[in-house]
Amino acid sequence: MTSVSRRQALRSIAGTGLLWAGTGASRAQRDGGAPSDDALTVVPRPAEMAPTRAAYEITDETTIMFDGSGAFHVATALADLLRPATGFELPVDRPTGSGTDTISLTLDGAPPTLGDEGYRLGVTDSGVTIRAAEPAGLFWGVQTLRQLLPPSVEADSERAGPWTVPGVQIRDAPRFDYRGVHLDVARHFFDVDAVKQYIDYLAAYKINHFHMHLTDDQGWRLMIESWPRLATVGGGEGGYYTQAEFRDLVRYAADRSITLVPEIDVPGHTNAALASYGELNCDGQPTDLYTGTEVGFSSLCVDREETYEFFDDVIREVAALTPGPYVHIGGDEAEELSEAEYAQFMDRAVAIVQNYGKRPVGWYQVLNADPPESTVAQYWNPSRESSLLEAAADAGHELLMSPGSRAFLDIKYNEGTELGLSWPGFTSVRDAYTWDPGAYVDGVDESAVMGPEAPLWSETLETFDDVEFMLFPRLPAIAELGWSPADETDWSDFSERLAAQGPRWDILDVNFYRSPQVPWPGGERSGGI
Ligand code: TNX
């Protein structure tokens, strides 16, 4: 780590009262050097992190203790994570005996200031303790512990230790309540196993919302029992999720502290629906299935009652499948409609979502229909100026920040990237990291921002290898912007911690982009992008 970043680490700790009695900023002078934070390459960077001289080695004597209902499933997740590579038994148990040689996960005694997702993690010579107010906080603490261990802990078969956790005291909580990543399964379909893998990646970087773009011109990917042809016809050759499969994904995400946000994109981006049911078209005739990449050419027929019966049925089923508070209704690029027609449709669509007890989310064009204040608007323009967004923030709307030139994970890294699009230019890893979700659009205050979300559109992505190549290493960049304090986000420090993730991805066999901006271990920095 550079001296600059180390200085920053000390400053942040000093500024937040995390220096331990008897150590203090003068420890370095007193005993000839503070403990090094070189091993503390955690991404996203914890809010407060102080290296200590302790170290704990996980051995075949280690027990995982849990305290409090809701902690058991996190303890099990930790055991599942550690057992393959260590080969240790790692029994999961309630607190017993001496309490030494334990990794202890407890919901007891956490200060309320930690919030729903915060945690404390402490390492002594005899064990590790993670404390949180809620299971989500414990789960994020476990993700931090994972990154404190050597990269080989990620292996799915036994590796040589030692499994040493460096001494550290961490107090951590996220900057934003909403840290999202999206996946477009409509342009290309990704099956349940692939999506679970994707969810695992999000969880490792403390992303807590997974937005699934389930429908578009090219495909309708979720079985709707009351309108089955949407999936069986509109799914085309790619396929769709049965409701049982989708429920499984919702549960898989929830087990990892991630809320699934389903998107049914209307009234545009609907060719797959229009091809499945003629009555959704103004002329009553089904369209042909479509596999191209144009946008803006399709629309539900806003003057037909069938359109609203269809949408009501769809949202009823989707709302029943997803326990989270949000249903995303798209609303982008409805270029076939006049402003009045668009508003006529959206007024009713938003009301339907609310009627099923959900909070509507729309791409920011939804603001053209003047929806109720509880509607969340997702910004995706590259521009830093938007009078529409400014007015929405003033009117009390909450906003998600997904600027196309920074947060879109489907944009090419540079002109040499074979996959991806380039409509907003290129987005290097550094570009993905060096912006502030709380201060991106002029005149929009951070208080109106729910958080960042990184969309991954799949027009050009046919395989899961392709998905991984665009996701890594920009996912951790956006994740850190969502989690870490704004004044702790420093590119040079981040790029070094990011570099330390590379060996983990190699072991996990992730197809990541080895950006020359990042000083990967063993690699030469070439100064490119
Ligand atoms: C814009 S962001 C779109 C998508 C494309 C994407 C490609 C938004 C609401 N619409 O339809 O897939 O750009 O980068």
Element (H, E) at 213: strand 209-213
pLDDT at position 528, please? 60
- DSSP structure class, residue 63: E
224 contact partners, CB below 8 Å, separation of at least 6: 230, 231, 313, 314, 317, 318
> Cα(47)–Cα(118) distance, rounded to whole angstroms?
10
| Contact predicate 220/191, CB 8 Å | no
| Contact predicate 197/149, CB 8 Å | no
Q: Is residue 261 domain-shared with residue 148, that is, in the same domain?
A: no
Q: Is 134 in the pocket of ligand 1 (CB under 6 A)?
A: no
231 located within any domain: yes
Which of these three, 150, 172, 194, is where a domain ends?
172
Q: What is the number of alpha carbons within 13 Å of residue 232 lying toward its C-beta?
A: 7
- Give the CA distances from residue 356 to residues 64, 220, 297, 466, in Å, rounded to whole numbers and listed in that order: 41, 21, 29, 36
Helices (H), 367-457: 387-394, 429-433
**Catalytic residue at 446?**
no
pLDDT at position 100, please? 87
Q: Is residue 334 domain-shared with residue 432, that is, in the same domain?
A: yes
| Contact predicate 120/48, CB 8 Å | no
Q: Is 408 in the pocket of ligand 1 (CB under 6 A)?
A: yes
Nearest CA to ligand 1 atom 4: 457
pLDDT at position 24, please? 32
525 located within any domain: no
Nearest CA to ligand 1 atom 6: 457
Of the candidates 384, 386, 389, which has an alpha carbon nearest to the alpha carbon of residue 362?
389
Q: Is residue 320 domain-shared with residue 469, that is, in the same domain?
A: yes
Relative to the CA of 295, which ligand 1 atom is closest?
11
Task: Decide: residue 67, CB within 10 A, 0-12 exposed, 13-18 middle, 19+ buried.
Answer: middle
> Cα(455)–Cα(407) distance, rounded to whole angstroms?
7
Q: Is residue 159 domain-shared with residue 227, that is, in the same domain?
A: no
Task: Decide: residue 36, CB within 10 A, 0-12 exposed, 13-18 middle, 19+ buried.
Answer: exposed
- Can you count the helices (H) and strands (E) in the chain? 16, 17
Task: Decide: residue 201, CB within 10 A, 0-12 exposed, 13-18 middle, 19+ buried.
Answer: buried
| Contact predicate 221/167, CB 8 Å | no
Element (H, E) at 55: strand 48-58
Question: β-strands 102-106, 376-379: how paired?
Answer: unpaired
pLDDT at position 109, please? 87
Q: Is residue 378 domain-shared with residue 239, that is, in the same domain?
A: yes
Q: Is residue 426 domain-shared with residue 324, that is, in the same domain?
A: yes
* 216, 261, 329, 333, best to mutate for ligand 1 pocket (most atoms within 8 Å of CB): 333
499 located within any domain: yes
| Contact predicate 414/516, CB 8 Å | no
Q: Is residue 189 domain-shared with residue 163, that is, in the same domain?
A: no
527 located within any domain: no
Q: Is residue 255 domain-shared with residue 275, that is, in the same domain?
A: yes
| Contact predicate 12/488, CB 8 Å | yes
User: Of how many residues is the chain composed?
Assistant: 529
Q: Is 457 in the pocket of ligand 1 (CB under 6 A)?
A: yes
Sign of CA dihedral 185, 186, 188, 193: positive
Relative to the CA of 269, which ligand 1 atom is closest?
11
Which phi and psi angles does 170 have, rounded to 5°? -120, 135
Q: Is residue 317 domain-shared with residue 377, that is, in the same domain?
A: yes
Q: Is residue 155 domain-shared with residue 198, that is, in the same domain?
A: no
| Contact predicate 101/74, CB 8 Å | no
Q: What's the pTM?
A: 0.93
How many other CB atoms are there within 10 angstroms of residue 15's CB atom? Answer: 12
- CATH number (domain holding residue 41): 3.30.379.10
28 contact partners, CB below 8 Å, separation of at least 6: 34
Q: Is 37 in the pocket of ligand 1 (CB under 6 A)?
A: no
Q: Is residue 269 domain-shared with residue 287, that is, in the same domain?
A: yes
520 located within any domain: no
308 located within any domain: yes
112 CA → ligand 1 middle, Å: 40
526 located within any domain: no
523 located within any domain: no
- Report how far apart the first and last C-alpha atoms of the chain are (Å, whole number): 21
Relative to the CA of 187, which ligand 1 atom is closest?
12
In b/e form, how buried is each residue of 402-433, taking b as 16+ CB within 10 angstroms? bbbbbbbbbbbbbeebebbeeebebbbbebbb
Q: Is 493 in the pocket of ligand 1 (CB under 6 A)?
A: no
Q: What is the number of alpha carbons within 13 Å of residue 362 lying toward its C-beta?
A: 32
Instruction: Give pLDDT tens digits along the chain (529 positions).
Output: 333 333 333 333 333 333 333 233 333 333 445 676 767 999 999 999 999 999 999 999 999 999 988 999 999 999 999 999 999 999 999 987 677 899 999 999 898 899 999 999 999 999 999 999 999 999 999 999 999 999 999 999 999 999 999 999 999 999 999 999 999 999 999 999 999 999 999 999 999 999 999 999 999 999 999 999 999 999 999 999 999 999 999 999 999 999 999 999 999 999 999 999 999 999 999 999 999 999 899 999 999 999 999 999 999 999 999 999 999 999 998 888 999 999 999 999 999 999 999 999 999 999 999 999 999 999 999 999 999 999 999 999 999 999 999 999 999 999 999 999 999 999 999 999 999 999 999 999 999 999 999 999 999 999 999 999 999 999 999 999 999 999 999 999 999 999 999 999 999 999 999 999 999 998 655 456 6
> Cα(85)–Cα(79) distance, rounded to whole angstroms?
11
Residue with tokens 């030469």: 524
Q: What is the DSSP secondary-structure string of 169-201?
A: EEEE--S-S--EEEEETTTS---HHHHHHHHHH
- CATH number (domain holding residue 490): 3.20.20.80
Q: Is residue 129 domain-shared with residue 210, that is, in the same domain?
A: no
For the chain, the domain total comes to: 2
Which residue among 333, 341, 462, 496 is the active-site one?
Answer: 333
Q: What is the DSSP secondary-structure string of 465-480?
A: HHHHHHHTTHHHHHHH
Q: Is 381 in the pocket of ligand 1 (CB under 6 A)?
A: no
Write out the residue range of the structural domain in which residue 265 sits: 180-507
Relative to the CA of 455, which ligand 1 atom is closest?
2
Q: Is 410 in the pocket of ligand 1 (CB under 6 A)?
A: yes
